[in-house]
Amino acid sequence: MGVLYEVNNHIALITVNRPEALNALNTEVLQELDQAVSRAEADGDVYVAVITGAGKAFVAGADISQMKDFGAVEAKAFGEYGNRVFARIESMSKPVIAAVNGYALGGGCELCMACDIRIAGTKAKFGQPEVGLGITPGFGGTQRLPRIVGASKAKELIFTAETIGAEEALRIGLVSKVVPDEELMDTVMELAAKIARNAQIAVRQSKDAINRGLQSDIVTGLAYEAQAFAVCFSTEDQKDAMSAFVRKEKVTAFKNK
């Protein structure tokens, strides 16, 4: 299988599993990734999703052996499909964490940027090397990278096709944490578990408000926040948690309703 899927303790672990090709994304892998994300979204027992890669790479890029003979029509269809899959990850109601082990280049960098939070192992490598192959980034790199690291740095990375290490990725804000490779999955799973312990309606409303606000002016964004804030006051979780707080107690488990 090109993508593995398992659920434990409300966390869906989605692993791109094509290590012999450094997890390069071809149409089949994109289809399986799409199915895994849809499965995690539909499963009420899943609160957080984690995406990683098997072997020594996260995802080394889109599959060049598949793309090399594309014409413009085929290339556009492939890019649009990859973008739809990644947009589904980005817009998924539940938080998605990228556990970046090894190479995250081209489509791999674009995949991790579609996730909400990115944690890297020390050996992780990031880059958009497409112009060195005579093409542009095609799975959202020209749009998400500037939004994450700023236009100037994004243009530098894309125009030069430069690969950067985990510490530089941390410095420019592409990832939020770098940990030793052997601690990567434990760190990510601990973070996922911490998110899963909170009130999930509030977590999902927060994600939605952030994502919508990033595409809006501040006035519109604040309106999205006000709506999300209001929705939470119709939940049992809010009533239980605030009542417990007033009693100087703490809710030990949320109902998520």
* Burial (CB count <10 Å: 0-12, 13-18, 19+), residue 176: middle
Q: Give whole-number Cα distances, 194 to 95, 190, 245, in Å.
A: 12, 6, 19
Strands 125-127 and 163-165 come out as antiparallel
Dihedral sign for Cα atoms in the order 185, 189, 192, 194: negative
- Residue 67 identity: M
What is the DSSP secondary structure assignment for residue 20, as one 8-state letter? G
Which is catalytic among the residues 6, 90, 110, 182? 110
The yes-or-no answer on residue 110 being catalytic is yes
Which is catalytic among the residues 28, 41, 90, 130? 130
Chain position carrying tokens 């489509």: 107
The yes-or-no answer on residue 20 being catalytic is no
Residue 96: strand pairing partners? 49
Interacting residues of 159 by C-beta distance below 8 A, sequence separation 6+: 131
Task: Provide the annotated active-site residues.
Answer: 110, 130
